[in-house]
Structures are given as structure tokens and as C-alpha cells.
Amino acid sequence: MKQVIDIYIPRMLGTVTEKEVIDAFYFMNIGKVTYIDMYKKMNENGYAYYFAFISLELYESNMAKLLQERLNNRNIMHLVYDEENNQYWEIKKHIPKEQRTKSCTISNNNNNNTILPFYNEVEKERLINEYEELEKELFALVC
């Protein structure tokens, strides 16, 4: 039985096409895109970019396993799709809106609103573990 995962890519170049995204997952031996929904936006400098919601039928490959492992353990993965130009996508697990963590808005002294998430204990533990992993990786690079 094929495993299907739902992912979210928050930012892609404004020149990328659906076909290029589909081909990238195919040629990297990750999986078959069974659904893609791309939305075009403009950044603060007036440049176009896309964000996308994708359903991916995973292949039985090392790259598919790596993607799934990173998303399960870290909820994020940087996938290099163009090594020559150092281009990558930040891939996240897609969490349906009704399952997302609630947040609240607070005001500070400057009347600027700040959105703070409410974390449950599982999310808190995951964040602590993620921080510790990053700390170890930084230490290994520096020392």
C-alpha cells in the first residue's frame, strides 16, 4: 500500500511551474505528486513567489524515507532541488487548519500586536528536542 503525505511549501520562486514541482519530486525519486495547489503572492519588495499545498504518494526510496523521517521528527526539511544554483524548498507537514495550534494576540507598550502560540506539552517537548539537536549540530560545526 502506497503512503500519501500532505506537505506545505511556504515559499517558491515566482518563476516555478506546477510541472517543475511535480518533476522535481519524481526525478529526486521521492514520490508522485497526486495533488498540487499553488498560490501566487507578492513579497515586500514586489517580487512574486508561490506557496503550495501538495499530496505526495511516496516511493519506496531512501529519499522518500529521509523526507518522511525529517518531517516526523522535525516537522521541516530543506530539499535542495537545484544544487548548481543552491536552490531549495523548505518543506513542512501540512496541518489542516482545524488541527493547528491556537494562538493569541497580546499588546506591548508600543501598541504593536504580537501573536504568541499556545503550546501543549507534546509540542513543547518537540521544540526542546529540536533546539537541543540544533545546538549539537552547531557545536559540531564550530568545534
For the residues of 67-85, what is the DSSP string, one character each? Answer: HHHHHHHHSEEEEEEETTT
**What is the residue range of 25's domain?**
4-97
Q: Is 60 found in the same domain as 124?
A: no
Q: Is 71 found in the same domain as 136?
A: no
Domain count, the chain: 2
Burial class (CB in 10 A: 0-12, 13-18, 19+), 104: exposed
pLDDT, tens digit (0-9, with 9 covering 90-100), for 118-134: 556 667 677 777 777 77
The yes-or-no verdict on residue 22 having pLDDT over 90 is yes
Q: Is 123 found in the same domain as 53?
A: no
Query: E strand or H helix at 52, and its extent?
Result: strand 48-58
Cell numbers linked to 124: 513543547
**Among 19, 9, 69, which Cα is nearest to 39's?**
9
Q: Is 88 found in the same domain as 25?
A: yes
Q: Is 30 found in the same domain as 67?
A: yes
pLDDT, tens digit (0-9, with 9 covering 90-100), for 58-112: 999 999 999 999 999 988 999 988 888 888 899 998 877 777 665 554 445 555 5
The 3-state secondary structure of 19-35 reads HHHHHHHHHCCCEEEEE
- What is the average pLDDT across 17-23? 95
Q: Is 34 found in the same domain as 89?
A: yes
Instruction: Identify the pLDDT of residue 127.
Output: 72
pLDDT band at 137 (very low <50, low <70, confident <90, very high): confident
Instruction: Identify the pLDDT of residue 20.
Output: 94
Q: Is 93 found in the same domain as 110?
A: no
Q: Is 62 found in the same domain as 129?
A: no
Q: Is 51 found in the same domain as 18?
A: yes
Which has the higher per-residue pLDDT, 15 or 115?
A: 15
The rounded distance, in Å, linking the Cα atoms of 132 and 127 is 9
Query: E strand or H helix at 92, and its extent?
Result: strand 87-93
